[in-house]
Amino acid sequence: MRFNHETLGQRVRFASGQARESLAAELDLLGSARAMLIAGTEERELAERVTAGLPVVVHHDEVVMHVPTDVARRAREVATEHQVDVIVSVGGGSTTGLAKAVALTSGIPIVAVPTTYAGSEATNVWGMTESAKKTTGVDDRVLPRTVIYDASLMLSLPQHLSIASGLNALAHCVDSMWAPRADPINAALAVEGIRALNLGLPAILDDPSGLDGREQALYGAYLAAVAFASAGSGLHHKICHVLGGMFDLPHAQTHAVVLPHVLAFNVPAAPEAAERIASAFGSATAVAGLATLRDRIDAPTALRDYGMPEDGIEQAARAVVEAAPKDNPTDVTVENITTLLQAAWEGAEPR
Ligand code: NAD
C-alpha cells in the first residue's frame, strides 16, 4: 500500500436541536463580536432561531445558486462595511458557496451551519459564475473553520429535496472510489458514508418528523464531502459540472439522475470498488444496491424532467470527454458517453 493523503483541518459539532448552543460556543472560542449572517430569505426563520441573542451585526440574504460574481461582490462589500470578524452561513450549498466567496478574498473565517446534504461545508473548493460560465478553485481560506450539524434544521427541507440532496452526497462517496486522488483513507470514509446514507434516506421518508434518519444522512453527507474533498472530481462530477454549466440544471437533481449511470459505466472496470460499494449497500452488487435504494426513495430518473434539451446530448458528450479524468476505470469516448447521457436524459435503465 502506498499513498499520499491530506486531511483538512476543521472542527465539527454534531448535536440535534443544539445549533444555537453550538454556534454560541464556537463564536466564543473565535472571540467573535461582529458576525455576518448569510442566509437566504427561505432560511430566514431557521437562521434567526440559530443566531438568537448572538453577536450578529448584519444579516445578508442575497443568496443565488452557483454564486454569480456580482452577488459575491455585494456580499464582500457588506462584510467590509460592517467590519465583520466571522461569517456564519445557515443554508444549503448555495449559501455556503456565498460565504466561501467572501472568505476567498478576505480570509474571514466561516462557521457553516448546513441545511442540506450538499457537503460544501467540508471542502476547500469554491465556485462562482460569470456570464453563465462557472469557475471553481481550491483555496484553504474557504474551508469553514467549524461545521455545526443539527438534524432538526433538516425537518423543513421538502422530501424531494432531501432525496435529491442525499443522492448528491451519495455521489460524492461513489465518485471518491475512482477519482484522481482516490486513496484507502477517503475510500474508507466513502464506504461508511454509503452505509449511513443508505440507512438514513429511507428513514427520512418513513418518519417525516423524525431525527434519526436525518442524523444518519447528515453524518453520511459529511463523510461523503470529506472523501470528495480529498479524492477530487471523478467522472460523475465532471459530467454533472458540464451539464449544470451548459443547461443550467438544478445541482442536486442532476447528481441524483446521473449517478446510477456512472456507477454502471465504471463498475465492470473497477471490481474492488464495486465490491466495497456493494457491501456498503448490503447488496449482492453495487448497481443492485443503488437501484434498490433509488426505488425505495422514488429517486429522480430523467434529465429531461429538469429541462435538458435532447439535442444538447452530443455537445455535452464532447465536453465530458474533454473534462474526464484520464485514469477513469472505463475508457471514455464520445460514443459511450453519448449512450450514457441518452439513457440519463430518457430515464432509461443504466447500461
Ligand atoms: P441550495 O443551497 O441551492 O438549496 C436548494 C433549495 O433548498 C433552496 O431553495 C433553499 O432555499 C432550500 N433549502 C435549503 N435548506 C432548506 C431547509 N432546511 N428547509 C427548507 N428549504 C431549504 O442547494 P444545494 O444542493 O444544497 O447546493 C447546491 C450548490 O452548492 C451548487 O451551487 C453546488 O455547486 C454547490 N456545492 C458546492 C460544493 C463544494 O464543495 N464547493 C459541494 C456541493 C455543492
- Distance from Cα 214 to the centre of ligand 1, integer Å: 16
Grid cell digits, residue 118: 450538499
Instruction: Name residues whose C-beta falls within 8 Å of residue 185's C-beta, 6 or more positions apart in sequence.
Output: 3, 5, 7, 230
Q: Whose CA is nearest to atom 39 of ligand 1?
A: 120
What is the reported pLDDT for 211?
98
For residues 129, 131, 132, 136, the Cα torsion angle rounded to the nearest 10 degrees is -30
Instruction: Name residues whose C-beta falls within 8 Å of residue 72's C-beta, 6 or more positions apart in sequence.
Output: 98, 101, 102, 128
Which helix (H) or strand (E) segment holds residue 168: the answer is helix 159-176
- Distance from Cα 95 to the centre of ligand 1, integer Å: 7
The reply to whether ligand 1 has any atom less than 6 angstroms from the CB of 254 is no
97, 170: one domain: no
What is the residue whose three cell numbers read 469553514?
A: 144
148, 171: one domain: no
Question: What residues of the chain score a pLDDT lower than 50?
Answer: none
197, 123: one domain: no
On whether residue 234 sits in a domain, the answer given is: yes
Of ligand 1's listed atoms, the one at least distance from the Cα of 46 is 18
Look up the domain containing 89 and give its range.
11-154
118, 192: one domain: no
The reply to whether ligand 1 has any atom less than 6 angstroms from the CB of 166 is no
On whether residue 317 sits in a domain, the answer given is: yes
Grid cell digits, residue 102: 467572501
The reply to whether ligand 1 has any atom less than 6 angstroms from the CB of 66 is yes
What is the reported pLDDT for 118?
98
177, 193: one domain: yes
240, 188: one domain: yes
Instruction: Name residues whose C-beta falls within 8 Å of residue 145's C-beta, 6 or more positions apart in sequence.
Output: 10, 11, 30, 109, 110, 111
CATH code of the domain containing 22 = 3.40.50.1970
109, 168: one domain: no
On whether residue 1 sits in a domain, the answer given is: no
Which of 41, 67, 115, 168 is the pocket-test mutation for ligand 1 (most atoms within 8 Å of CB)? 115
Output the CA–CA distances (angstroms, integers) from residue 318 to 82, 262, 337, in the order listed: 46, 16, 8
Question: What is the number of other CB atoms lying within 10 angstroms of the CB of residue 304?
Answer: 14
The number of residues making up the chain comes to: 351
pTM exceeds 0.85: yes
End residue of a domain, out of 154, 184, 218: 154
Tell me the per-residue pLDDT of 124-140, one tens digit each, with 9 for 90 and over.
999 999 887 788 999 99
- Distance from Cα 2 to the centre of ligand 1, integer Å: 36
Q: Whose CA is nearest to atom 4 of ligand 1?
A: 92
On whether residue 2 sits in a domain, the answer given is: no
Question: What is the number of other CB atoms lying within 10 angstroms of the CB of residue 136?
Answer: 11
CA–CA gap between residue 291 and residue 260 (Å, rounded): 7
23, 55: one domain: yes
Number of domains in the chain: 2
Grid cell digits, residue 101: 466567496
Q: Whose CA is nearest to atom 2 of ligand 1?
A: 92
End residue of a domain, out of 115, 139, 154: 154
170, 95: one domain: no
Of ligand 1's listed atoms, the one at least distance from the Cα of 252 is 25
127, 208: one domain: no
The reply to whether ligand 1 has any atom less than 6 angstroms from the CB of 116 is yes
Alpha-carbon dihedral sign for residues 190, 195, 350, 242: negative
Q: Whose CA is nearest to atom 37 of ligand 1?
A: 120
CATH code of the domain containing 282 = 1.20.1090.10
203, 76: one domain: no
The reply to whether ligand 1 has any atom less than 6 angstroms from the CB of 115 is yes
Of ligand 1's listed atoms, the one at least distance from the Cα of 164 is 25
- Distance from Cα 26 to the centre of ligand 1, integer Å: 23
8-state DSSP, 344: H
On whether residue 104 sits in a domain, the answer given is: yes
70, 166: one domain: no
End residue of a domain, out of 132, 154, 176: 154
The reply to whether ligand 1 has any atom less than 6 angstroms from the CB of 162 is no
Of ligand 1's listed atoms, the one at least distance from the Cα of 244 is 34
What is the residue whose three cell numbers read 473553520?
A: 145
On whether residue 284 sits in a domain, the answer given is: yes
On whether residue 6 sits in a domain, the answer given is: no
82 three-class SS: coil
Output the CA–CA distances (angstroms, integers) from residue 235 to 37, 201, 265, in the order listed: 35, 24, 10
The reply to whether ligand 1 has any atom less than 6 angstroms from the CB of 123 is yes
Tell me the per-residue pLDDT of 276-329, one tens digit each, with 9 for 90 and over.
999 999 999 999 999 999 999 999 999 999 999 999 999 999 999 999 999 999
Output the CA–CA distances (angstroms, integers) from residue 291 to 10, 174, 265, 299, in the order listed: 34, 14, 14, 9
CA–CA gap between residue 158 and residue 335 (Å, rounded): 37
The reply to whether ligand 1 has any atom less than 6 angstroms from the CB of 251 is yes
On whether residue 77 sits in a domain, the answer given is: yes
Output the CA–CA distances (angstroms, integers) from residue 69 to 42, 72, 104, 183, in the order listed: 21, 5, 12, 34
Instruction: Name residues whose C-beta falls within 8 Å of residue 225's C-beta, 6 or more positions apart in sequence.
Output: 118, 119, 120, 121, 122, 123, 169, 172
What is the reported pLDDT for 245?
86
Question: What is the number of other CB atoms lying within 10 angstroms of the CB of residue 232?
Answer: 17
- Distance from Cα 335 to the centre of ligand 1, integer Å: 33
Q: Report which of 107, 112, 106 is spatially closest to residue 94, judged by C-alpha positions.
A: 112
